[in-house]
Structure 1
Amino acid sequence: MNPCRDEQPHMLKLPFIHDDQLTRCMRLRAQSLQQKNARPQDGEKLLHPNEHVYRVDFIRQHNLCFLRWDVQLERSGKVMVTGTSQHWTPDLTHLMNRQLLEPVGIFWKKPGAKEVECNEADAQEFGERLVELAKIRKVMYFLLAFTDGLEPAQLKGSIVFKA
């Protein structure tokens, strides 16, 4: 049975979880290189001050169909969600630029607006790619970049699937 054609869909809402520990580790790596006046490895992605690491735990991995992004912003601003193809290890294997997935999900809220907007085509394609990645992963990591004064505490986000 195709889960996308199920008449009575069962929703699976998977929240973005801010990974404070991994964000701190990646910031320490950048800080360490700066203090030593060292260069990052060729192609290494260093975390910028406005970037934070989030994770999504796939409590179910098969028969998923992407439905939508559920992104709520408490104030105006923009958040860019970039998926990673990396399987992180506890010793923090360095994240390389080539491990960042395309397309990027960009969500924004204009001053005075009630609704969050996005580029629908990119968001849809990104969501569909996550279905494929969920088949081989229990956890997926994302880099979220906040701009225009937006901060992590002002975001509530999840990915909604039909299961």
Structure 2
Amino acid sequence: MAAEAGMLELPFIWDEQLTRCMRLRFQSLQQKNTKPQDGEKLLQPNEHVYRVDFIQQHNLSFLRWNIQLERAGKVMVTGTSQHWTPDLTHLMNRQLLDPVGIFWKKPGAKEVECNEADAQEFGERIAELAQIRKVMYFLFTFTDGLEPAQLKGSIIFKA
């Protein structure tokens, strides 16, 4: 896992099962013609749930993001404050954290770009949250035709 001594690289894992479960909640509400709970976040077709498993929780300091996109497009990464259960089916908007990490790749570009300040603050917040969590969930919003199969991502900490 570690690229260099003292570094810890934790991958974002696409949680297909949880993503499917949250989509079923959306479909169920539509079929029954009922409204979601007040403030409930319903998963849109371009949103997917990812998680990071913290194999180490203490003394982590954020170093950098490692986001690779196979093609041009944009992905927004939003952390959630949901931390005790893998069931995000009833995810509330107030459980979505600020700031979000926004990563994009322009057509013909080799490198992925991001809003440095927000990405830095978001990474530091994740390092803090890692102290009290074994797992953290994220909402990835893909745009410009980008899909989960075209993304490889991890977050790198100094341990």
Q: Structure 2 regions of 5+ residues with no counterpart?
A: none
Aligned length: 156
CA distance 1:90–1:146, shift in 2 (3 Å): closer
Q: Percent identity?
A: 86
| Structural RMSD (CA) | 1.3
Structure of larger gyration radius: 1
Q: Secondary structure at the match of 1:69?
A: strand
Aligned counterparts of 1:91 and 1:118: Cα–Cα separation in 2: 30
Q: Look up the equivalent residue of 1:26 and give its one-letter code.
A: M
TM (normalized to structure 2)? 0.95
CA-CA distance at 1:93 after TM superposition: 5.3
Instruction: Give 2:100's match in structure 1, choosing from 94, 100, 104.
Output: 104
CA-CA distance at 1:89 after TM superposition: 2.6
CA-CA distance at 1:13 after TM superposition: 0.2
TM (normalized to structure 1)? 0.93
Corresponding residue of 1:38: 34
CA-CA distance at 1:98 after TM superposition: 0.2
Aligned counterparts of 1:130 and 1:161: Cα–Cα separation in 2: 10
Corresponding residue of 1:75: 71
Instruction: Give 2:145's match in structure 1, choosing from 146, 149, 155.
Output: 149
1:1-150 correspondence to structure 2 within 5 Å: 10-87=6-83, 89=85, 92=88, 94-150=90-146
Aligned counterparts of 1:93 and 1:32: Cα–Cα separation in 2: 12
Moved over 2 A (4+): 87-93
Q: Structure 1 regions of 5+ residues with no counterpart?
A: 1-7
Aligned counterparts of 1:57 and 1:115: Cα–Cα separation in 2: 26
